[in-house]
Amino acid sequence: MPLKRRLRTLACCGLLQIAALFGIPMRPEEVQEFMQSLNEQKVAHTLPEEKEKGEGADPEAPKS
């Protein structure tokens, strides 16, 4: 497991523990959903640069 991901998980668990110490209620289902969302892979959408645009470019895009 990468260090960045491990630190993020520890920080989130620490925040949940602090919330529990102050008496902020959180249902077990919410905690489980939160922990599962940490494990999901994120997909980054990138836009092509001008010189990379080819035939698949958006036809409705404004022309320069």
Of 13, 15, 11, nearest in space to 24 by CA: 15
pLDDT tens digits, one per residue of 3-27: 888 888 888 888 888 888 888 887 8
What pTM does this model have?
Answer: 0.46
- The percent of residues above 70 in pLDDT, for the chain, comes to 69
Q: What is the pLDDT of residue 52?
A: 54
Q: What is the DSSP string of 2-36?
A: -HHHHHHHHHHHHHHHHHHHTT----HHHHHHHHH
What are the residue ranges spanned by the domains of the chain? Answer: 3-39
* Average pLDDT for 45-64: 62
